[in-house]
């Protein structure tokens, strides 16, 4: 790359870099976030250089100790980042050289910024994924706890946002638990693919120097080495996979947020968030807005956009490293920040949500919701389902014309359209029976929801014991 002659990588260049290119090239304003990981990787690299004899043991020790001092400066916020040095790597290397002298210039032996940044982002994402995993598990636990408190509370289930069949509230909440469990599994799968150490790949072809990358891998807690140097410096699919996970997770959270917004509306009135998790209006004193849920819903677009950004950056790149890949960090950092902000908010809203069980039960007692159960009753009497469906539909039309609920029709009225219907159907169409009947695996019957709760608690306990992401 073209650079000022005074820069440590100037090489063949004698002219000054144009200011426009310099401004375009600078990444220190965002990649300084990688400093702790860059230092950890550099310390492991320095120890390895001493072990293989590429530097003396004393030089290795001085580099490791100097980097530790730089880490303290970074942690304190007092490190003087210099945009003229472009990025986090060169800022730290220059600071190390200023601190310990020419020995600092040996740190970059047998590595490139290409494999260096590949290592840094893996170390960063490994730590970030662990924190996100903890927050995600807490949200899943909150859903399970709230579902346990509402496992017998009736509410309407919806299709097309029209009342469809009654369910219990715990069943609805456990649907989100299942969705987020798959998200947790995706994050765990990513952790396994992150466990590959790229340092030693050099700029693209490896190095001819006698390094020991296995030592670096063990030092940094990686179980294996990258198997292809071109792939190690050119690929960002681990970042794409994380952003894909984040986008799917945020879409799931957006759907949860939408339900919270609906439930807390005056039209539904199924639930209420506490005042401290709601906001008012600058103009209308009576308003209580579920802004946390709305912002959670809105931020889904941000994370989906980050995925689209990096997919677009990577899609046309020739092998191997290209400077375009500098654009991988801002969408990554933004997605991590967003998830770490949104997940605790979601857990707080679920934990402190207060259901209006009376209103939910009233809505679940929709006068025509038992139509499916009427058809099921006829099927059990030997009526083909399509015919049973037709008979139940005609019964609904009749009940509507009489302004009656299905459960208020007499057996004689039912038999006009459903001649095979028996007297027991009058009880089968009442709300408790409607719920209890759906006791198949995954069904909404309270007994089935109890089984789902028990399985969820076992799964969460097992994850906690294993310490898995």
Residues of the chain with CATH 1.20.200.10: 114-363
Beta-carbon contacts of residue 434 (< 8 Å; ≥ 6 apart): 165, 166, 369, 370, 373, 428
* CATH class name, domain 366-466: mainly alpha
**What integer pLDDT is reported at residue 7 of this predicted model?**
60
Q: Counting Cβ atoms within 10 Å, is residue 286 exposed (0-12), middle (13-18) or buried (19+)? A: exposed
Please choose, from the candidates 279, 262, 429, the residue with its C-alpha nearest in 3D space to the C-alpha of residue 345: 279
Please choose, from the candidates 366, 188, 306, 156, the residue with its C-alpha nearest in 3D space to the C-alpha of residue 180: 188
| Residue 202: DSSP 8-state | T
Residues of the chain with CATH 1.10.275.10: 19-109
Fold of 19-109: Fumarase C; Chain B, domain 1 (1.10.275)
The tens place of each residue's pLDDT in the chain, 469 residues long, gives 334 545 655 566 667 778 888 888 899 999 999 999 999 999 999 999 999 999 999 999 999 999 999 999 999 999 999 999 999 999 999 999 999 999 999 999 999 999 999 999 999 999 999 999 999 999 999 999 999 999 999 999 999 999 999 999 999 999 999 999 999 999 999 999 999 999 999 999 999 999 999 999 999 999 999 999 999 999 999 999 999 999 999 999 999 999 999 999 999 999 999 999 999 888 988 889 999 999 999 999 999 999 999 999 999 999 999 999 999 999 999 999 999 999 999 999 999 999 999 999 999 999 999 999 999 999 999 999 999 999 999 999 999 999 999 999 999 999 999 999 999 999 999 999 999 999 999 999 999 999 999 999 999 999 999 987 8
Q: Counting Cβ atoms within 10 Å, is residue 123 exposed (0-12), middle (13-18) or buried (19+)? A: buried
Q: What is the pTM of this model?
A: 0.93
Measuring CA to CA, how many Å separate 373 from each of 74, 297, 380, 390, 422?
66, 35, 10, 13, 13
Please choose, from the candidates 49, 62, 151, the residue with its C-alpha nearest in 3D space to the C-alpha of residue 109: 49
Distance (Å, whole) CA 382 – CA 380: 5
- Tokens standing for residue 67: 């980097």
* CATH class name, domain 114-363: mainly alpha
Q: Coil, strand or helix: which one is 282? A: coil
- Catalytic residue IDs: 160, 281
Distance (Å, whole) CA 429 – CA 38: 66
Please choose, from the candidates 382, 355, 385, 376, the residue with its C-alpha nearest in 3D space to the C-alpha of residue 440: 376
């Amino acid at each position: 790359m073209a650079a000022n002659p005074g820069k440590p990588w100037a090489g063949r260049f004698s002219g000054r870099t144009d200011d426009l290119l310099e401004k375009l090239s600078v990444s220190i304003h965002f990649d300084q976030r990688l400093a702790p990981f860059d230092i950890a990787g550099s310390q492991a690299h320095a120890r390895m250089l001493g072990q293989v004899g590429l530097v003396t043991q004393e030089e290795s020790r001085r580099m490791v100790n100097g980097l530790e001092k730089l880490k303290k400066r970074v942690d304190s916020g007092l490190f003087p980042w210099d945009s003229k040095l472009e990025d986090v790597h060169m800022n730290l290397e220059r600071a190390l050289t200023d601190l310990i002298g020419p020995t600092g210039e040996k740190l970059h032996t047998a590595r490139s910024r290409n494999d260096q940044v590949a290592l840094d982002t893996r170390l960063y994402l490994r730590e970030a994924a662990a924190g996100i995993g903890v927050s995600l598990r807490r949200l899943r636990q909150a859903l399970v706890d709230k579902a346990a408190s509402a496992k017998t509370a009736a509410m309407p289930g919806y299709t097309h946002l029209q009342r469809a069949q009654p369910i219990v509230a715990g069943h609805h909440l456990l649907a989100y638990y299942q969705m987020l469990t798959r998200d947790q599994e995706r994050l765990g799968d990513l952790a396994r693919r992150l466990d590959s150490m790229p340092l030693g790949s050099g700029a693209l072809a490896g190095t001819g120097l006698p390094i020991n990358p296995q030592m670096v891998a063990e030092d940094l807690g990686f179980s294996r080495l990258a198997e292809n140097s071109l792939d190690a410096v050119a690929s960002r699919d681990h970042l794409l996979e994380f952003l894909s996970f984040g986008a799917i997770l945020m879409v799931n959270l957006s759907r949860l947020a939408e339900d919270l917004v609906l439930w807390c509306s005056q039209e539904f009135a199924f639930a209420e968030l506490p005042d401290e998790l709601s906001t008012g209006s600058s103009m209308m004193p009576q308003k209580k807005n579920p802004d946390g849920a709305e912002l959670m819903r809105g931020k889904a677009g941000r994370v989906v956009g980050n995925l689209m950004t990096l997919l677009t950056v990577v899609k046309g790149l020739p092998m191997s490293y290209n400077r375009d890949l500098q654009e991988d960090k801002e969408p990554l950092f933004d997605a991590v920040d967003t998830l770490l902000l949104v997940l605790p908010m979601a857990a707080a809203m679920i934990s402190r949500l207060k259901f209006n069980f009376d209103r939910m039960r009233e809505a679940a007692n929709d006068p025509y919701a038992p139509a499916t159960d009427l058809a099921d009753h006829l099927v059990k009497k030997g009526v083909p389902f399509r015919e049973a469906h037709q008979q139940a539909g005609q019964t609904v039309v009749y009940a509507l014309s009489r302004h009656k609920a299905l459960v208020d029709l007499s057996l004689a009225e039912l038999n006009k359209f459903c001649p095979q219907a028996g007297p027991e159907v009058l009880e089968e169409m009442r709300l408790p029976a409607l719920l209890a009947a759906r006791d198949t695996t995954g069904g909404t019957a309270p007994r089935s929801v109890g089984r789902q709760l028990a399985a969820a608690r076992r799964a969460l306990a097992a994850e906690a014991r294993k310490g898995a992401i």
